[in-house]
Amino acid sequence: MKHTLAVLVENHPGVLSRVSGLFSRRGYNISSLVVSETEDSSVSRMTIVVDGDEKIIEQVTKQLNKLIDVIKVSDVTHDETVDRQLLLVKVNADNSAKGEIAQLMDIFRARIIDIGKKSLIVEATGSEEKIDAIIKSLQPFGILEIVKTGTISMVRGAK
Amino acid sequence: MELNGAQILVKALEEQGVDTIFGYPGGAVLEIFDALRESSIRQILVRHEQGGAHAASGYARALGKVGVCVATSGPGATNLVTGIATAYMDSVPLVFITGQVAKAMVGTDAFQEVDITGITSPITKNNYLVQNVQDLPKIIAEAFYIAKSGRPGPVLIDIPRDVSMAKCQYNPYRNVDIRSYKPTLKGHPTMIKKAVKILGEASSPVICIGGGVINSGCSAEVQEVVELTGAKVVSTLMGLGAYPGNSQTFQGMLGTYGNKAANLAVQSCDCFLALGMRFDDRVVGNPEKFAPEAQIIHIDIDPAEIGKNIPVDVPIVGDLKNVLQDIIKLLKKDHKVRKTINFPNRNIQINEGLNAPWVLRNLQRVAPSNTIVTTDVGQHQMWTAQHYIFNQPRTFISSGGLGTMGYGIPAALGAQLAMPESTVVAITGDGSFQMGMPELGTIAELELPIKIVIFNNNTLGMVRQLQHYYCGQRYSFVDFKKTLDFMMLAKAYGAEGLRIEKEADVTDVFKETFANRKFTIVECPINSRDLVNPIVLAGNGLEEMV
Amino acid sequence: MLGSELLLKCLEEKQVKLVFGIPGGVVIPLYDVLKKSNIKHILTRHEQGAAHAADGYARSTGKVGVCFATSGPGATNLLTGLATAYMDSSPVVAITGQVAKAFLGKDSFQEADTVGLSQPVTKHNYLVRDANEIPDIVAEAFYIATHGRPGPVLIDIPKDVFTQEVSEIREPKIRKHIITKLEKPVLNEIQLGKALELLKHSKRPLILAGGGVTQAEGSYEFLRQVAMNNEIPVAVTLMGKGVFPADNPLFLGMVGMHGTTEANWAIQNCDCLLAIGIRFDDRVTGKLEEFASKAKKIHVDIDAAEIGKNCAVDVPICADSYDFLKMLSQKLRGIKINKDWLKQIELNKSIQKVSHSHLDPQEVMATINSLVDEKTIVVTDVGQHQMWAALFVHPHYPRGFITSGGLGTMGFGLPAAIGVQMANPEKKVVLITGDGSLQMNIQELALIKQWNLPIKIFLINNGYLGMVRQWQELFFNENYAETSLEAGPDWEKLAQAYGIKGKTLRTPYECKESLNTAISSREPWLMDIKVDPGANVFPMVPAGCSLDQIWGSWKNEAHVSSLG
């Protein structure tokens, strides 16, 4: 099962390689990883989605905790969280298809952000399921290129 | 036929034309050594894996083939690291095979487990952790292709023990095609035209040969370009031998410890043609003051090297041999052949006596013409580069980029196995010698006729020299008290031991050294105060030598 | 003050008295000021030697061992030493020079990505970019190396940071989250209660003590009390040798692949296994699923990540072995063990059978063991001799047996022995080594005479890479590929080349006499002990088998049934 780990780390060079090195060294599987600065510029936050059973996740958490540069690890899988991915997708679109795509994207509250002669680019944010659904809905038109981020999560409430 | 992973590995190595491997057995590679025994591949049991890595490097560099070294997991693998890094910095084509604990135990800190692919990712061209026995033929074919193509370098294959034991059908893998790895071999025509124009119009061109000339095997092309342009030739440490050192046009090595003539030629030239070199800090001195008058043409197979350390006027990415052939064609078509210029003889003054330059001259006089010289790292290395004349590619083998003490003796071991007919001389210092000592056992066991010449000053001479210049002659922690009797040591290993006591002995001792095909250790005491001169001090341009 | 001077000042404040190392280009500014400090520098002959020596220093004292090396090959030469220290949780701080900041990442002369290379084999590492950070970094490095589960830390310092002028020296500060992370875990009362409950109800309890007990200063006495007050037998791992007196009848010796038959039998037949400061390594457990399968398991370790990593346990306790044993010694009294338990173990004791045609390694070990006293520290290399030593040579105290366990590094012995002797000038240091291992760092022999170190080198010479040969004999139809070292050096002459007394021993009588002479002298000796080249290490549990599948040439009759 997929677990989402929120990891606070020191924001300095080399930390990412320590974390990714740990995963490859111990044979853990990263599904996605997002890193960015937090409200405190000396701290970065990694959102790591890992595939594995409880035993593996426990080891991952413990091993991450052993890294000196890791400040805090929380498994937010079972917490109430808001999860988002960002998607950019370039789709084949002649003039007739453009309207159809625009309508379709409205349903998902996705936006068309660039229109070319025979293609357009759609931008969307949402949970992994929503993003997957958008991609599926665009497939019949012919997808030329996809870029998407991993999941970022935030725990709801005052915490 | 079903084979186990180890047998498939050996078959695939045979397919690659491997005839010799260096190695040290251990728990995780038992199957591999068991399979090797059934093959025609010669196995050399070294005494430390570091020696194995360096020996494979000496073998590869003497022969121009891919060298192979096998080690067990854990300490076996970590012992290779210095050797891998050394090969990486000097672009030596090597394939390392390490055993790993069984897949199920990877990541559990098992006995003799170490993350060797993680450790070596900064110092290999590529590395593999084999997950599946079916993948082995492809991985091995790729590893050899990557090691020797483009800019050569070391590749490591980590094989878990259960993969060595697992069985499957062996299907040779021959057509390597890696979509993310396609070295550029042909130079860009526009750039080549530009280069030719500059070369043709230059009045005082200098051609600098680097290790790439040896890797590309284009010494003949270089000679032709020299003849067509009337250029002076200088060399980096790695390029020595790629152009005849006894030629009038050759000015010697450039750089921090370069020959005076070479450095002056570089600083006054109007065109600097850099062939397969990487403008290392030890080559350029202060980059802002390097070749101030010159338009710089840089040809290298590695695009990342171009413009990395020095801005260049004409960058050309491609295999040197190809590019030089194109340049020669255009030069012949568009430009008149120049008259050969007679350069003044680059005479280096040497004082007679028991100093390394003079002893090296005498060594050269007595040594057979087919001699391959390996060196260690330190003063003796620079003295050899300055004063020993190398006329053939692959006759000078030394650790350039990483500057690894302890390289010379195992490299000599590899070179001698590669070239059994040649005379192999390892020139070393007392500090380096001690770092390469374990392999004396291997040389003795194989009864190889290697000649080791130790310049003994009972100190880490190069560090001492740096302290001389940069620390106001305060010498700290460089002196070895006389703790080692080299002649007795020679006896312990069954080698001939010869000691040069005085100036008058030199010729006789070297005559005796080369009179037979025995393992010989020659000790030559020198003064610890001797310095490598000239030297370009940090921050200076190459013409500012002291 | 220069960065280099500041570094030395910080090291002095950390009570560093001794460092091992080799100078080189980029560390010249450091070495230039080293003479002015109170720190003694030992010039080794290869950086690998420096790392192992620092490790030996650390293991024998529990204090941080420090080594210096230059950039590039100097740093890469440390790697095996760091990995060795990492696997055995030894507090080593390595300080490496790096090319000046402006040259970083340009493949400069003697540049290597030391921080990247050493990441998998250090607890933590630093690249210092500003000399002002030195006090903080040194303080953190020493804290990290010694706190929680100890381990090596590397500090990489560019040349221009050594020469950087520092005007204001900061008070060293350790980041808060690091302190929290590595603080001693509080012993959980509930878990302790569960452990007590299990132990109280067990009939056939067994304690298995590892390196964690060695590391936890002062736990020796408490372990003794716990065992003796309750008559619980004690087995050890390789890293735990010395934590329990070997002459005590409750002592069963080492467990695992080359464990004693009685220790392995006890593991497989106990009903409650108290494992303290061990990590259930594959060499210890054999086939994991069948390891101590009849027992409830209690696992005490300071490293939370070790608990449940390899072996599922009934009562996990994340604690320092000292705290745990201290509490246990107070709370565990009068458990009623099955009377037959100790007797049965006794019945499974192995019987030594000695061959008389050659000098038998076991006999040599027995001789060495008879010479070991409370002032002796035994250091070994890796291979057959290591296992023989582990089986038959017993130190009197923790830190009295120093060996590379987790990484199994051949060549560890000689430099480690040098570090041990340097740290403990009043102790007798005995190095038990093999002909393959000794050749790996042979260059360090130079230090023995130079510093007049009275180390006794007992070379168990069988002319083979014996352990590999043993596996080839047992599992590869005697296909002896690449293991013969018969053309080895003449060890007597080699010793002589270094001004060390050397002697070749071939008979039991010679052996007894000469080892005795060596031990009682204040001089270094190299004894080339020619043992039976065909001797194997038994008992042995083949890899992947469970601990009751013991192969051995000598065993008790009663035990034969379980051999299958």
Q: What pLDDT digit, counting tens, does each position of C307-340 carry?
A: 989 999 999 999 999 999 999 999 998 787 888 9
| Same domain membership, residue A94 and residue A64 | no
- B194 plus B154 within the same structural domain: no
Residues of chain C with CATH 3.40.50.970: 3-182, 361-530
Please check whether residues A96 and A47 belong to one and the same domain: no
Q: Is C109 a catalytic residue?
A: yes
Query: Average pLDDT of chain C?
Result: 92
State the pLDDT at residue C552: 66
For residues A149 and A97, membership in a common domain is answered with yes
Q: Is the pLDDT of residue C30 over 80?
A: yes
Query: Does residue B182 lie in a domain region?
Result: no
Domain hosting residue B270, numbered range: 189-334
Q: Which two tokens stand for residue C232?
A: 């619980």
Q: Which chain A residues contact residue C144 at CB under 8 A?
A: 68
> Who among B123, B403, B444 is closest to C110 (CB)?
B403
For residue B374, what are the β-bridge partners? B397, B426
Mark whether A9 and A66 lie in a shared domain. Answer: yes
C-alpha closest to that of A27 among B113, C366, C4: B113
Q: Which residue has the tokens 């038992």?
A: B30
Strand order in the sheet with C40-43: C40-43, C18-21, C65-69, C92-98, C153-158, C124-127
**Same-domain pairing of B256 and B363:** no
The lowest-confidence range among A10-14, B360-364, C420-424 is A10-14
pLDDT one-digit tens code per residue, C235-263: 999 999 999 999 999 999 999 999 999 99
Domain end marker among A29, A57, A75:
A75
Q: Which of residues 60-89 of C touch B (CB under 8 A)?
A: 72-73, 76-77, 79-80, 83-84, 87
Are A56 and A92 in a shared domain? no
Catalytic annotation present for C449: no
Q: Find chains touching chain B: ≥3 CB pairs under 8 Å.
A: A, C
Q: How far apart are CA C353 and CA C333, in angstroms?
A: 39
Task: Taking each helix axis as running N to C, give the angle between helix B75-89 and helix B49-63, from 0 to 180 degrees, rounded to the nearest 10.
Answer: 30
Q: What CATH number does the domain containing A68 carry?
A: 3.30.70.260
CATH code: domain of residue A132 = 3.30.70.1150
pLDDT exceeding 70 applies to what percent of chain A?
Answer: 99
- Specify if B348 maps to a domain: no
Q: Does the pLDDT at position C124 exceed 50?
A: yes
Number of domains chain A contains: 2
Cβ atoms of B274 and B299 within 8 Å: the answer is yes
Non-local CB neighbours of B248 within 8 Å, separated by 6+ positions: B342, B343, B345
CB half-sphere exposure, C332, CA atoms < 13 A:
33
* Count of helix runs (H) and strand runs (E) in chain B: 21, 20
Which among B117, B139, B169 is the end of a domain? B169
Fold of domain C189-347: Rossmann fold (3.40.50)
Say yes or no: A14 contacts chain B, CB-CB below 8 A: no
| Lowest pLDDT segment from B230-244, B459-473, B500-514, C142-156 | B459-473
Would B296 be classed as within a structural domain?
A: yes
Kindly state whether residue B538 falls inside one of the protein's structural domains. no
Whether C96 contacts C70, CB under 8 Å: yes
Q: What b/e sequence results for C49-68 when a residue is b if at least 16 CB atoms lie within 10 Å of its CB, and e otherwise?
A: bbbbbbbbbbbbebbbbbbb
Residues B18 and B56 grouped into a single domain: yes
Work out the number of other CB atoms within 10 angstroms of the CB of residue A136. 9
pLDDT in the model for residue C561: 34
Per CB-CB distance under 8 Å, the chain A contacts of B106 are: 26-27
Of the candidates C5, C14, C20, C47, the residue annotated as catalytic is C47
Domain count within chain B: 3
B12 shares its domain with B92: yes
CB–CB contact B118 A25 (8 Å): yes
Residue A63 is nearest to which of C124, C177, C305, comparing CB atoms? C305
Contact residues, chain B, for A26 at CB < 8 Å: 106-107
Selected for mutation to probe chain C from A7, A12, A61, A66 (highest C CB count within 10 Å) is A66
Cβ–Cβ of B403/C109 closer than 8 Å? yes
Annotated catalytic residue C363 = no
Q: Which domain holds residue A113?
A: 82-155
Residue C149, pLDDT above cutoff 50: yes
Cβ contact C276:C332 at 8 Å: no
Whether C558 has a pLDDT exceeding 50, the answer reads no
- Give the residue from A26, A50, A75 where a domain finishes: A75
Task: Tell me which chain C residue has its CA closest to the CA of residue B22.
Answer: C482
**Res. A91 pLDDT band, cuts 50 70 90:** very high
Q: What is the mean pLDDT of residues B181-199?
A: 95
- Whether residue B273 sits in one domain with residue B126: no
Q: Give the pLDDT confidence score for residue C557 in this predicted structure.
A: 36
CB contact under 8 A, C115 and A21: no
Task: Find the Cα–Cα–Cα–Cα dihedral B334, B340, B341, B342, rounded to 10°.
Answer: 170
Confirm whether C110 is a catalytic residue.
Answer: yes
Q: What is the DSSP string of B73-105?
A: STHHHHHHHHHHHHHHHTT--EEEEEEE--GGG
Among A60-69, B65-74, B152-161, B235-244, where is mean pLDDT lowest?
A: A60-69
pLDDT for the residue numbered C548: 83
Q: CA of B21: how far to CAs of B25, B66, B83, C131, C465, in Å?
A: 12, 10, 15, 46, 18
Query: CATH number, domain at B302?
Result: 3.40.50.1220
Check A65 against C305: CB less than 8 A apart.
Answer: yes
Q: How far is CA B9 from CA B96, B167, B456, in A?
A: 12, 12, 44
CA-based nearest distance A102→chain B, Å: 37
Q: Is the pLDDT confidence value at C351 over 70?
A: no
pLDDT tens figures, C1-16: 999 999 999 999 999 9
Q: Are A145 and A90 in contact (CB under 8 A)?
A: yes
Residue B186 pLDDT exceeds 90: yes
Q: Is C358 exposed, middle or buried (0-12, 13-18, 19+ CB in 10 A)?
A: middle
Q: What is the CA radius of gyration of chain B?
A: 24
State in Å, rounded, how far the first CA of chain B is from the last one: 68
Provide the sign of the torsion angle of the four alpha carbons C549, C554, C559, C563, taken in this order: positive
In the predicted model, what is the mean pLDDT of residues C169-175? Answer: 93
pLDDT for A4 beyond 70: yes
Nearest CA in chain A to B122: A17
* Chain A neighbors of B115, CB-CB under 8 A: 21, 24-25
Q: What is the DSSP letter of A107?
A: H
Q: Tell me the average pLDDT across B328-339.
A: 79
Contact of A71 with chain C, judged by CB distance below 8 Å, is answered with: yes
Q: Do B294 and B360 belong to one domain?
A: no
Query: What is the rounded radius of gyration, in angstroms, for the C-alpha atoms of chain C?
Result: 24
Q: Which two tokens stand for residue B356?
A: 């390394």
Select from C454, C408, C477, C401 the least CA-distant residue to C432: C401
Non-local (6+) Cβ contacts of A150 within 8 A are A31, A32, A33, A34, A47, A49, A85
Candidate CATH numbers 3.40.50.970, 3.40.50.620, 3.30.565.10, 1.10.3720.10; the one for domain C3-182: 3.40.50.970
Mean pLDDT for C157-177 is: 95
Assess whether pLDDT exceeds 60 at residue C554.
no
Q: How confident is the model at residue C544 (pLDDT cuts 50, 70, 90)?
A: confident
Residue B444 covered by a domain: yes
Asked if residue B44 belongs to a domain, the reply is yes
Q: Examine residue B535 and state whether it is found in any structural domain, yes or no.
A: no
The last residue of a domain, from among A10, A43, A75: A75
Q: How far is C319 from chain A (nearest CA, A)?
A: 15
Write down the pLDDT at residue C537. 86
Report pLDDT for C486. 67
Helix boundaries (H) for C317-400:
321-331, 339-347, 361-371, 384-392
| CATH number for the domain formed by residue range(s) C361-530 | 3.40.50.970
- What is the per-residue pLDDT for C475? 82
Helix ranges, A67-149 (H)? 95-107, 128-138
Q: Do residue B429 and residue B474 come from a single domain?
A: yes
**How many residues does the structure list for chain A?**
159
CA atoms within 13 A on the CB side of B167: 3
Nearest chain C Cα distance for residue A4, angstroms: 19
**What is the pLDDT, as a whole number, of residue A6?**
94
Nearest-CB residue to A62 (from C119, C120, C304): C304
Residues A143 and A95 in one domain: yes
Asked if residue A134 and residue A98 are part of one domain, the reply reads: yes
Mean pLDDT, range B415-434, rounded to an integer: 97
C370-385 tens-digit pLDDT: 999 999 999 999 999 9
Q: Are C144 and A65 inside 8 Å of each other by CB? A: no
User: Among all residues of chain C, which has the CA nearest to that of B120?
Assistant: C117
Beta carbons of C120 and A58 less than 8 Å apart? no
Instruction: Find, among C82, C89, C153, the residue nearest to C124 by Cα.
Output: C153
- C47 as an active site residue: the answer is yes
pLDDT band at C563 (very low <50, low <70, confident <90, very high): very low
Contact C305 A21 (CB under 8 A): no
pLDDT in tens, C480-509: 776 776 668 999 999 999 999 999 999 999
| Domain of residue B13, CATH code | 3.40.50.970
- Which pLDDT score, from 0 to 100, does residue C555 have? 39
pLDDT (0 to 100) of residue C356: 55
What are the residues whose beta carbons fall under 8 Å from the beta carbon of C49, sequence distance 6 or more?
C20, C414, C415, C418, C441, C443, C444, C447
Q: Examine the domain organization and report whether A90 and A55 are in the same domain.
A: no
Shared domain check, B195 and B122: no
| B339 pLDDT tier (thresholds 50, 70, 90) | low
**pLDDT of the residue at C354:** 54
Chains with ≥3 Cβ pairs under 8 A against C? A, B
Q: Average pLDDT for residues C65-81, to the nearest whole number?
A: 98
CB within 8 Å of C339: residues ≥ 6 apart: none
Say whether both B390 and B475 belong to one domain. yes
3-state class (DSSP) for residue C563: helix
CA distance B29 to B12: 16
pLDDT value of position C93 = 98
Distance between CA atoms of residues A151 and B308, nearest Å: 37
